[in-house]
Amino acid sequence: MAYFFEEPSHTFSEYLLVPGYTSPDCIPANVSLRTPLVKFRKGSEESPISLNIPLVSAIMQSVSNDTMAIALAKEGGMSFIYGSQSIEDEAAMVAKVKAYKAGFVVSDSNLKEDDTLQDVLDLVEKNGHNTIAITSDGTAHGKLLGIVTSRDYRVSRMETTLQVKSFMTPLESLVTAPDTTTLKEANDIIWDNKLNSLPLIDENGCLKYMVFRKDYSEHKSNPNELLDAKKRYMVGAGINTLDYEKRVPALVEAGADVLCIDSSEGYTCWQEKTLSFIREKYGDTVKVGAGNVVDRDGFMFLAKAGADFIKIGIGGGSICITREQKGIGRGQATAVIEVAKARDEYYKETGIYIPICADGGIVHDYHMTLALAMGADFIMLGRYFARFDESPTSKLMVNGQYVKEYWGEGSNRARNWQRYDLGGKAKLSFEEGVDSYVTYAGPLKDNVAKSLYKVKSTMCNCGVLTIPELQRDAKITLVSATSIVEGGYHDVILHNTPGGTQH
């Protein structure tokens, strides 16, 4: 006879945290959200990679590109660049993150000398940036000939057909510096010469980077940045169980800090094969997560197969229709609770702590706190990050409201059949995800700060200052359907519709 779980599976919205004692030092400013990303011998060593905040962005086309990765690493989390693209394109995105130097900007607004004032106006309108580099070939790395800023032209007094060379500030009147200049030196030059920007040029006079005055304060205000030993931003990358023999070396070569097998279901011989390939080729030097699983058996299987972290979640993603299509999955809270128990059991037996990640289904900020309290070490989010400026998709106006596009990896749009591979033909047989919109929410930095302030405040209510303390001391209660109703506003007439109840 089939095995029946005794309890129904539950999701985050069915639980609440019950406060613990809050002492005077228990304030949000004292809370640390640092958390391990990959396995380690707990008690005798630190995790080789830790996150400064417990958030990673989903391995999805509509979420994690190089722009997202840089923005999230600035805040202390990590993106996993999507694997449903060519090996070359994915490796190039990883390489871009690793090459990014905070404060050093590859100029995105460039023209040639014989372009016109109209071209300048069009470019300012398109990119929203007022500083335009004038180079020999109009590219970001051509020979620098001059700069145009809004101080160089007056639209009311000049013909829009006027050529750039007649009004740009030419190279000989510009302050520039060699591309070997450090950020600190560049900022000193900016201050000493009262500049707004400083072009850095190589020995052939080609433009490499721009350093902007306004970025200096922004750079200083990222105390949580997630950096590698060479002070580069850290980034993860998705792989699949089919082309790993080629994809893994390319991503490692490009500088990926961690890999993760991206699959809707991870308790499979294909994941085991992929993990053994990595272990045989690289030993423990290449870190790789696996998943997704939703119970003890799945966790133990991937732990023994050598995964560095294990992801939890089937069917809970906001764009996911796996449960409807195939009838597999489990309420995300129950899955996290059971896998966390298995993780602790495995640690007791072996001394090795394998971090676990709650992937998908986070709707409210308090779900993050619950996932951590239930034992997750970090959280993967798709919909949450898709709403921000930094996600790769278009921002559109739909029914008078700004939205961003967000589609599942199992949707016809993404065509990521590798993620759903069961050893069959190379195609997507049926969809397991939808193509949708999410409400546009602005910049990642502001939103993450707000969400994590809530997480920290709740941790203070629970009387804890770290994630391990939360996992150890949290008191969690399942709530009845009626008390869920009691949790929202009720029995009042609202002045206006409250914003921000859903994120």
Residue 419 a catalytic site member? yes
Nearest residue to ligand MZP by CB is 433
What is the contact mask toward ligand MZP in residues 166 to 205, using x (rule: CB under 6 A)?
Answer: ----------------------------------------
Tokens matching residue 430: 């049926």
Q: Is 54 a binder of ligand MZP (CB under 6 A)?
A: no
Q: Is the alpha carbon torsion for 324, 403, 368, 264 positive or negative?
A: positive
Pick 146 or 289: Cβ nearer ligand MZP: 289
Q: How far apart are CA 74 and CA 388, in angstroms?
A: 15
Q: What minimum distance in Å lies between the beta carbon of 62 and ligand MZP?
A: 9
* Residue 320 a catalytic site member: yes
Site string for ligand MZP, 83-122 (x = CB under 6 A): ----------------------------------------
Interaction of residue 360 with ligand MZP, rule CB under 6 A:
yes
Among 238, 317, 329, 392, binds ligand MZP (CB under 6 A): 317
Q: What pairing do the DSSP bridges indicate for beta strands 50-51 and 236-239?
A: unpaired
Among 13, 52, 322, 471, binds ligand MZP (CB under 6 A): 322
Nearest one of 94, 71, 72 to 81, comparing CA atoms: 94
Q: Interface with ligand MZP includes 77 (CB under 6 A)?
A: no
Rounded least distance, CB 80 to ligand MZP, Å: 9
Q: Which residue has the tokens 């639980």?
A: 15
Q: Which of 260, 320, 357, 460 is catalytic?
A: 320
Question: At its nearest, how many Å lie between ligand MZP and the CB of residue 430?
Answer: 11
Please tell me whether residue 426 adopts helix, strand or coil conformation.
coil
CA distance 378 to 357: 5
CA quadruple 294, 300, 305, 307: dihedral sign: positive
3-class SS at 237? Answer: strand
Structure tokens at 137: 């070939």
- Closer of 109 and 393 to ligand MZP (Cβ): 393
Site for ligand MZP in 397-456 (CB under 6 A): 408-411, 432-433
Question: Shortest gap between Cβ of 349 and ligand MZP (angstroms)?
Answer: 28
DSSP codes joined into one string, 338-392: HHHHHHHHHHHHHSEE--EEEES---SHHHHHHHHHTT-SEEEESHHHHTBTTSS
> Would you tell me how many other CB atoms lie within 10 Å of the CB of residue 397?
9
296-315: contacts with ligand MZP (CB under 6 A): 313
318 binds ligand MZP (CB under 6 A): yes
Give me 94's structure tokens.
């990883």
CB 176 within 8 A of CB 200: yes
Per CB under 6 A, does 380 bind ligand MZP? yes
Residues with a catalytic annotation lie at 320, 419
Give the interface with ligand MZP as residue ranges (CB under 6 A).
58, 60, 313, 317-320, 322, 359-362, 380-384, 408-411, 432-433
